[in-house]
Structure 1
């Protein structure tokens, strides 16, 4: 389990302070480990913790947290970004529910199969992100009941 102290240390090492607004954002993300949250969801949950938080502050802080590799950003629906705190330092990928945002870690990486194929054409892969989208067991049940 990731702790605020560890995050505060990472922030310090990158030249940032743990402000009240940033702390509330991190608390919300920690409370929702294993689930991607939209910026709006994060904002609303932060307002409950620290009422002076505004939407632009949430956007700005999420960008900072992403830049220093403390959060993972994705586009579940293709329109707006969603965020999840990074709670382990090992390389992994995600399966993401398109309805509720629940995530599961895929703890293996098939990138070698891809890179060897594209390397034949002279393409040099420098980074990657693999995300699989679908519906978790609970959301699948809801969909099939309709």
Structure 2
């Protein structure tokens, strides 16, 4: 997503564009291929605008999540990572466990599970599918 699109989306939903908010969005757009932790987002934001603080980062991530502009992943270690939504189309991701690099899977293999849900009288309303492993760069460094 482009920075101007994000700024327009926030404005059209009644949010002011502060320097901290703009800085957080700049960091997210420049890291659009990787998941980023709140701590890393804060550190990179402070490099651009030193007055950025943790509570502002959390507050902005909540707003972005509410507007469906960020994708939130909780790792098996309980660490929450964020990434800008890459498209409005329903899709899933392959995520590198080491560097956080994220690639979209452009289709949804959920049809079989939806049938199982219906057979069990369960009304499936949502799902996420994330595949974890190591990207080619991390595979190389893992073996060294």
* 2:22 corresponds to: 23
Q: Report how far residue 138 of structure 1 moved.
A: 1.2
Q: What's the offset of the Cα at 1:66?
A: 0.7
Check 1:86–1:38 CA distance in 2 against 1; reply closer, same or farther (3 A cut): same
Q: Deviations over 1:7-26 (max 9, x none)?
A: 12211222212211111111
> 2-side partners of 1:116 and 1:13: how far apart?
39
Q: Deviations over 1:53-82 (max 9, x none)?
A: 001111111111111111101023432210
Corresponding residue of 1:122: 121
Can you list the C-alpha shifts for 1:35-54, whole angstroms capped at 9, x where unaligned? 00000000000001111000
TM normalised by structure 1 equals 0.93
Q: Tell me which residue corresponds to 2:83.
A: 84
Q: Number of matched residues? A: 144
Q: Which residue in the other structure is 2:111 paired with?
A: 112
> Unpaired segments of 5 or more residues in structure 2?
none
Please report how far the alpha carbon of residue 130 of structure 1 lies from its aligned counterpart in structure 2 after TM superposition.
0.7
Aligned runs of 1:1-146 on 2, under 5 Å? 2-145=1-144
Shift, 1:144, TM fit: 2.4
> Within 1, Cα distance between the matches of 2:74 and 2:42?
17
- 4+ residue runs over 3 A deviation: none
Secondary structure of 2:32's aligned partner: coil
Q: Distance in 2 between matches of 1:5 and 1:144?
A: 41
Q: Secondary structure at the match of 2:143?
A: helix
